[in-house]
Amino acid sequence: MKSTQSQITAIVGTQWGDEGKGKITDFFAGTSDYVVRFHGGNNAGHTVIVDGNTFKLHLVPSGVIYGKPISVIGNGVVIDPKVLIDEISYLKRKGVDPKLIISDRAHVIMPYHIALDGVLSDHQQNLAAGSTNRGIAPVYADKMFRNGIRMIDLLEPEVFREKLEKGFSFNKKLIETMSGELLNQTIEETYKTYLEYGETLSKYITDISVELFDEYKSGKKILFEGAQGISLDVDHGVYPFTTSSNTATGHISIGTGVNFHKVDRVIGVVKAYLSRVGESPLPSEFLNATADRIRDVGKEYGTTTGRPRRIGWLDLVQIRQAVRVNGLTEIALTKLDVLNNINQISVCVAYTSNNETIKEMPASLTAYRNAEPIYEDLPGWGDLPSSVWEKGYDALPSKLQDYVSFIENEVKCPVRILSVGPQRHETIIR
Ligand code: GDP
């Protein structure tokens, strides 16, 4: 199984996250010089299985598992230094000494951001995405308030003290007013602990914009690894049921500080069905024995909570938006094996809402709440031939090929990668 690669490739989610981006990224990472994260924080998660060895990563790009590429955490990412230090230790225990650089401009998740997240969740109740309570929304908000602390500040005790006093007092007031309880944190303790974190991470902290720019000019290959998916993008997703960052490729330049005006290859990862954690309307959701079976076969349970995920049929209204907003040049279609032996596979091609047919994602929450899926029902393909990945696309059952052509035709984007199992080799390139 070979992969051809352009100088700059981006891999992004086209749904609600958990599409299998980790596996696709991992597939390309080995031939890259840099693997870069440009948004989000440790609210994301990738699972990569290499030679039977499972790696679960939340913050470090999954390309780290290879010796060659340098992993980059861009300024658009928000960093919990404790989580990062733990992840570096986890990798070392698994025999990987990470080649890592971290943007000096990335914002730091502070303990009071995590405390505020809990208060915020109580306030938002059902009108927001299920928060992971890791401080992500509060740290991004503090960045916009210009109250934030950046990685470089952890290396400058005086500046850090000034900024901490400002950030701490602001957040303390907010937390205590909203919760009616005293914040159980002190400036002194936070100051000391975070200076230590800064010292531990100092060797990784640098101006990644300059390094990436110079290396790009000298012809190095760069892979951008998106987290979550388009419907969770804070601008283009189903707001307010989104994450707090921009998941779309448009954020690549902002989140790294390099004007990558030409990303030659943009791969959108599409799972052959939908799964969703947390609240929000979900037009193509269904609840029956087939959904239960997809959940079980696809292991659609929350990675940390173990909670069963909601299941839906593939929604092409969502994918149409992902193709347009991200400028996808191709699709990687994953978890096809999970739909084996299902007699009839439905695909949502549009919605009916308020007596109108909708083919594009509505901004209106009323329209999305009222959306009824319009399905095209396609025949299932039964089982896949054994070791089908060795035999290539032409060996796939014709009904599966029809399913692929149907998607391509509806969303006007070619499917070039097909994933038929969790292992790296269980992949077909067309
Ligand atoms: P991400 O959040 O998009 O990065 O999702 P992950 O890469 O963590 O993938 C979610 C899960 O799907 C992991 O357990 C993967 O091993 C698994 N997975 C990925 N591709 C396939 C596939 O084609 N078939 C099956 N059965 N599992 C897959």
Q: What is the pLDDT of residues 73-92, one digit of tens each?
A: 999 999 999 999 999 999 99
Please tell me the residue having the least CA distance from ligand 1 atom 17.
Answer: 422
Please provide the average confidence, as pLDDT, over all residues in the chain.
93
Span 129-150, pLDDT tens digits? 666 789 999 999 999 999 999 9
Q: Is 214 tagged catalytic?
A: no
Please identify, among 135, 169, 204, the residue that sits at the C-terminal boundary of a domain.
Answer: 204
Same-domain pairing of 236 and 314: yes
45 Cα to the center of ligand 1, angstroms: 11
Give the pLDDT score at 83.
95
Please tell me the residue having the least CA distance from ligand 1 atom 11.
Answer: 20
Distance, CA of 404 to CA of 70 (rounded, Å): 35
Convert 238-272 to b/e letters by CB count within 10 Å (16 or more is b). bbebbbbbbbbbebbbebbbbebeebebbbbbbbb
Q: What is the pTM of this model?
A: 0.94
Same-domain pairing of 228 and 140: no
Residue 1 lies in a domain: no
Q: Is 265 in the pocket of ligand 1 (CB under 6 A)?
A: no
Please identify, among 171, 204, 237, the residue that sits at the C-terminal boundary of a domain.
Answer: 204
Helices (H), 342-411: 365-369, 388-391, 398-411
Please tell me the residue having the least CA distance from ligand 1 atom 26.
Answer: 421
For residue 152, give its domain range: 107-204
Distance, CA of 16 to CA of 36 (rounded, Å): 21
Angle, helix 157-179 to helix 111-124, in steps of 10 degrees? 30
Residue 4 pLDDT exceeds 60: no
Give the pLDDT score at 3.
46
Q: Is 23 in the pocket of ligand 1 (CB under 6 A)?
A: yes
Q: Which candidate in 18, 33, 142, 233 is catalytic?
A: 18
Q: Which of 81, 78, 75 is nearest to 196 (CA)?
A: 81
Structural domain tally of the chain? 2
47 Cα to the center of ligand 1, angstroms: 7
Q: Is 123 tagged catalytic?
A: no
Distance, CA of 6 to CA of 134 (rounded, Å): 35
Q: Is 18 in the pocket of ligand 1 (CB under 6 A)?
A: yes
Residue 2 lies in a domain: no
Residue 380 lies in a domain: yes
Distance, CA of 41 to CA of 253 (rounded, Å): 17
Residue 423 lies in a domain: yes
172 Cα to the center of ligand 1, angstroms: 39
Q: Which candidate in 46, 58, 113, 251 is catalytic?
A: 46
Q: Is 46 in the pocket of ligand 1 (CB under 6 A)?
A: yes
Distance, CA of 218 to CA of 198 (rounded, Å): 31
Residue 339 lies in a domain: yes
**The domain that contains 322 carries what CATH number?**
3.40.440.10
Token pair for 141: 């908000």
Give the pLDDT score at 129.
62
Please identify, among 187, 204, 221, the residue that sits at the C-terminal boundary of a domain.
Answer: 204
User: In testing the pocket of ligand 1, which one of 11, 14, 15, 23 has its CB within 8 Å of the most ligand atoms?
Assistant: 23
Residue 3 lies in a domain: no
Contacts of residue 380, Cβ cutoff 8 Å, sequence gap at least 6: 339, 340, 341, 342, 343, 344, 345, 399
Same-domain pairing of 253 and 159: no
Residue 30 pLDDT exceeds 90: no
Rounded mean pLDDT of 84-111? 95
